[in-house]
């Protein structure tokens, strides 16, 4: 087995795509969900990615692949295992026109038809955390496979950055996952004051069962960098530039993640995103960095092993 180096720097952007499902087990939806159209940001995000020929990976709550659902039995989705009895209490059992925060077949079609590669991965079927019983999690992972197109569902992004059950992923047809993002507070403080460091870059590693672990470099809205950018917009660009530079000079992966709903009420976020994606596009044209989906990167890593 030879080394697993990459031939260029790689840029990965991954999304936790959940709309209302990210909050259905909490007391109520955040107020901003009612005040803004969270879907409109997704259209803008995909347009920017398409215009710049940049790929990304959408860890999607499987229920969003549906156009509609109906109550079947005593409660919605009664054919599926649930973490607790009231799990689907918020499911409206209607359709994408009536309840567009609970269904997103139209957005999934937009992602599939995007001219730059937009991967549909799994964020479980109903946003269960990975603390549930293995049987429930297996059922959720399999349900995503059933709803997806052939060979489409290969990447897993864990809700709320929970620990990843790697053996279950292998058993249910997934070949990569995003490693949970956990940055010790002290290093954030250190970065804040010193301005050195910048986001880490890395190369995915292969688990013993053949599933690939993709480490994250930074959250798009990483604090304190994000908080500072209102007064010093260049600080956020510098943060991204240092990750990009490191990926290019080490032939490693600069992996950024966000939720689409993080853009709600965040002044300048779309402009910043546009800037980052345009920058990647320029460097990609020069052959210095390649934007890839997580499963494209996994395929390339598999090809490079021997
Ligand atoms: Zn439903
Ligand atoms: Zn989530």
76-83: long-range contacts at Cβ-Cβ below 8 A with a sequence spacing of 24 or more? Answer: 77/126, 80/125, 80/126, 80/139, 80/140, 80/143, 81/133, 81/135, 81/136, 81/139, 82/136, 83/128, 83/132, 83/133, 83/136
Quick: pLDDT tens for 20-48: 898 888 776 666 565 456 687 899 999 99
The arithmetic mean of pLDDT across residues 74-86, rounded, is 92
Q: Can you list the alpha helix ranges (DSSP code H) found in the chain? A: 31-35, 38-51, 105-113, 134-147, 166-171, 185-194, 225-228, 233-250, 269-285, 294-304
User: Ligand 1 centre and the CA of 91: distance in Å?
Assistant: 5
- Who's near 22: CB < 8 A, 6+ residues apart? 16, 61, 127, 159, 259, 261
User: Ligand 1 centre and the CA of 84: distance in Å?
Assistant: 16
Class (C level, CATH) for 9-304: alpha beta
User: Ligand 1 centre and the CA of 25: distance in Å?
Assistant: 14
Q: Say if residue 115's pLDDT is above 50.
A: yes
**Helix, strand or coil, per DSSP, at residue 301:** helix
Q: Say if residue 83's pLDDT is above 60.
A: yes
Q: Say if residue 185's pLDDT is above 80.
A: no
Average pLDDT along the chain: 89
Q: Say if residue 67's pLDDT is above 50.
A: yes
Nearest to 175 by CA among 144, 150, 206: 206
| pLDDT given at position 2 | 41
Neighbouring CB atoms inside 10 A of 99's CB total 16
Q: Say if residue 196's pLDDT is above 80.
A: no
Residue 1: pLDDT band with limits 50, 70, 90: very low
Q: Say if residue 110's pLDDT is above 50.
A: yes
User: Ligand 2 centre and the CA of 52: distance in Å?
Assistant: 26
């Amino acid at each position: 087995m030879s080394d697993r180096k990459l031939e260029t720097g790689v840029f990965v952007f991954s999304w936790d795509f959940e709309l209302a499902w990210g909050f259905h087990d909490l007391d109520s939806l955040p107020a901003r969900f009612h005040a803004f159209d969270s879907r409109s940001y997704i259209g803008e995000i995909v347009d920017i990615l398409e215009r710049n020929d940049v790929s990304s990976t959408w860890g999607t709550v499987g229920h969003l692949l549906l156009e509609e659902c109906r109550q079947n039995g005593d409660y919605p989705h009664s054919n599926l295992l649930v973490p607790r009895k009231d799990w689907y209490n918020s499911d409206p059992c209607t359709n994408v026109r009536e309840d567009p925060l609970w269904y997103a077949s139209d957005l999934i079609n937009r992602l599939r038809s995007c001219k730059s590669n937009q991967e549909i991965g799994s964020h479980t079927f109903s946003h269960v955390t990975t603390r549930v019983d293995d049987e429930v999690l297996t059922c959720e992972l399999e349900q995503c496979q059933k709803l997806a197109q052939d060979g489409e569902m290969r990447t897993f992004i864990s809700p709320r950055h929970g620990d990843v059950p790697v053996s279950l992923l292998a058993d249910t047809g997934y070949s990569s996952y995003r490693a949970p993002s956990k940055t010790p507070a002290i290093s954030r403080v250190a970065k804040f004051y010193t301005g050195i460091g910048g986001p880490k870059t890395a190369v995915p590693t292969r688990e013993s069962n053949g599933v690939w672990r993709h480490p994250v470099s930074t959250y798009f809205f990483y604090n304190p960098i994000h908080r500072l950018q209102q007064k010093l917009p260049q600080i956020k660009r510098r943060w991204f530039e240092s990750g990009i530079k490191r990926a290019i000079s080490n032939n490693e992966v600069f992996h950024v993640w966000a939720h689409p709903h993080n853009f709600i009420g965040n002044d300048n976020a779309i402009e910043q995103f546009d800037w980052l994606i345009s920058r990647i596009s320029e460097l990609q044209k020069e052959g210095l960095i390649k934007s890839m989906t997580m499963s494209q990167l996994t395929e390339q890593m598999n090809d490079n092993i021997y």
